[in-house]
């Protein structure tokens, strides 16, 4: 299994053993790793995301850190007489899809012999990284915004991580974590490329859910990009394996109070503009300057996708509507369903939609809905 790291800016190649997170030029890294999806071998394996073992960039099985995560439910629901599918991708040990990335990233960190890591997060990624780190006996420092959900911060603390509460913007949190990581390994869910090779497994599950095919459209929340970038990598794996001819449309949904990807998309550009960031109840997508913005836009452009924005009122209504159907998600997760409700008017005949729900509502019980 050949795995290398490549700078997305200058193209420089690094060996895994160098334990790089950034290139010398300052650019972000991606993996040079081109596995093949062998459905016949995969079908013989247990139904968790590690059934895709040969598509995961880990050299030795002895380094796998897992809670048997994956194979989250896919259910169908009616909206205005249209059938849509909901991928309940919060049914994980820590309550969010970030467990997909954490199980792969922490397994790789163990394989590299690293014993202390740093992560910054609005909450869910921090919880996932903390949980898997404690299983692996890896020391963990998590930087969070001081106004993050108290439930999420408490969850991180329960796993035993060192929590650093940072005032100011989400970008301030990143800056402080990056400074701190000069002495330790930066296990960022939006910088470290191994994380995306965990989040990509959701598209493999959807492929199997649809009897070795894919829906025409996938709708999901977009903040720093750990979900959409993983899905795009997974789609590339499927196409390389000659299992699909074209990609489904990837439709990202952002809060209208913080929509940098949307702002670039409507101008058909790749450069992310500076935007005014306002408060949104969807803290997980409140990312003013997504560092992998160009890659997110590439995934949208190359799948003939789109970006939709939704208001906090629409997010809250969608959260309540989902709850009335028995599905309790946090506001960031409800962003996806709010996007579906906007997109439904342009739905074509026989177009199948999967909306990805990313985080449990139990994480956001602190939020006072009466403030909206």
Share of the chain above pLDDT 70, in %: 98
Alpha carbon of 174 to those of 22, 29, 178: distances in Å? 14, 17, 6
With a cut of 60, say whether residue 138 has pLDDT above it. yes
pLDDT band (50, 70, 90) for residue 168: confident
Where do the domains of the chain lie? 1-32, 74-94+196-371, 98-194
Domain 74-94+196-371 and domain 98-194 have a common topology = yes
Q: What is the mean pLDDT of residues 72-98?
A: 95
pLDDT band (50, 70, 90) for residue 280: very high
Q: CA–CA separation, 350 vs 188, rounded Å?
A: 39
pLDDT in tens, 245-273: 999 999 999 999 999 999 999 999 999 99
With a cut of 60, say whether residue 21 has pLDDT above it. yes
Q: What is the pLDDT of residue 258?
A: 96
pTM over 0.85, yes/no: yes
pLDDT in tens, 314-332: 999 999 999 999 999 999 9
Q: CA–CA separation, 147 vs 97, rounded Å?
A: 22
pLDDT in tens, 2-20: 899 999 999 999 999 999 9
Q: What is the pLDDT of residue 349?
A: 84
pLDDT band (50, 70, 90) for residue 80: confident
Under a CB-based contact definition with an 8 Å cutoff, are residues 4 and 31 in contact? Answer: yes
Q: What is the pLDDT of residue 371?
A: 44
With a cut of 60, say whether residue 366 has pLDDT above it. no
Of 3.30.70.260, 3.40.50.1100, 2.130.10.10, 3.40.50.300, which CATH number belongs to 98-194?
3.40.50.1100
Q: What is the pLDDT of residue 248?
A: 98
Q: CA–CA separation, 187 vs 337, rounded Å?
A: 30
* Residue 103 CA from chain centroid, whole number: 13
Q: What is the mean pLDDT of residues 155-177?
A: 93
Instruction: Work out the number of other CB atoms within 10 angstroms of the CB of residue 200.
Output: 27
With a cut of 80, say whether residue 369 has pLDDT above it. no
With a cut of 70, say whether residue 278 has pLDDT above it. yes
Q: What is the pLDDT of residue 235?
A: 98
Under a CB-based contact definition with an 8 Å cutoff, are residues 269 and 108 in contact? Answer: no
- What stretches of 73-194 show up as alpha helix (H) in DSSP? 98-111, 124-136, 150-158, 170-180
Q: What is the pLDDT of residue 171?
A: 85
CA atoms within 13 A on the CB side of 175: 8
With a cut of 50, say whether residue 372 has pLDDT above it. no
Of 3.30.365.10, 3.40.50.410, 3.40.50.1100, 3.10.20.600, which CATH number belongs to 74-94+196-371?
3.40.50.1100
CA atoms within 13 A on the CB side of 297: 20
Q: What is the pLDDT of residue 170?
A: 83
Q: What is the pLDDT of residue 57?
A: 98
């Amino acid at each position: 299994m050949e795995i290398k790291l490549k700078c997305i800016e200058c193209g420089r190649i690094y060996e895994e053993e160098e334990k790089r997170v950034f290139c010398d030029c300052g650019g972000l890294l991606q993996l040079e790793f081109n596995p093949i999806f062998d459905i016949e071998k995969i079908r013989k394996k247990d139904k968790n995301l590690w059934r895709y073992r040969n598509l995961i960039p880990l050299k030795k099985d002895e380094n796998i850190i897992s809670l048997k995560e994956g194979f989250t439910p896919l259910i169908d629901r009616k909206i205005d007489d249209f059938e849509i599918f909901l991928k309940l991708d919060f049914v994980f040990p820590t309550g969010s899809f970030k467990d997909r990335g954490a199980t792969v990233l922490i397994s790789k960190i163990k394989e590299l012999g690293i014993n202390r890591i740093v992560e910054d997060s609005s909450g869910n990624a921090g919880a996932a990284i903390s949980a898997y780190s404690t299983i692996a006996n890896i020391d963990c420092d998590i930087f969070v915004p001081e106004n993050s959900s108290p439930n999420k911060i408490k969850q991180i603390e329960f796993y035993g991580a060192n929590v650093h509460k940072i005032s100011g913007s989400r970008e301030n949190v990143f800056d402080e974590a990056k400074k701190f990581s000069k002495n330790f390994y930066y296990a960022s869910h939006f910088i470290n490329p191994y994380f995306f090779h965990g989040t990509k497994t959701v598209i493999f599950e959807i492929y199997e859910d649809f009897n070795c095919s894919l829906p025409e459209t996938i709708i999901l929340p977009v903040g720093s990009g750990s979900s959409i970038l993983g899905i795009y990598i997974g789609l590339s794996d499927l196409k390389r394996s000659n299992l699909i001819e074209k990609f489904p449309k990837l439709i990202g949904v952002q809060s209208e109070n913080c929509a940098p990807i949307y702002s670039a998309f409507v101008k058909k550009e790749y450069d992310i503009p500076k935007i005014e960031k306002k408060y949104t109840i969807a803290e997980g997508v409140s990312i003013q300057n997504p560092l992998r913005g160009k890659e997110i836009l590439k995934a949208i452009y190359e799948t003939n996708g789109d970006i939709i924005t939704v208001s906090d009122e629409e997010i809250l209504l969608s959260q309540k509507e989902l709850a009335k159907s028995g599905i309790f998600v946090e506001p960031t997760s409800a962003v996806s369903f709010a996007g579906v409700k906007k997109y439904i008017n342009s739905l074509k005949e026989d177009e199948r939609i999967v909306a990805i729900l990313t985080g449990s509502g139990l994480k956001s019980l602190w939020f006072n809905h009466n403030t909206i």
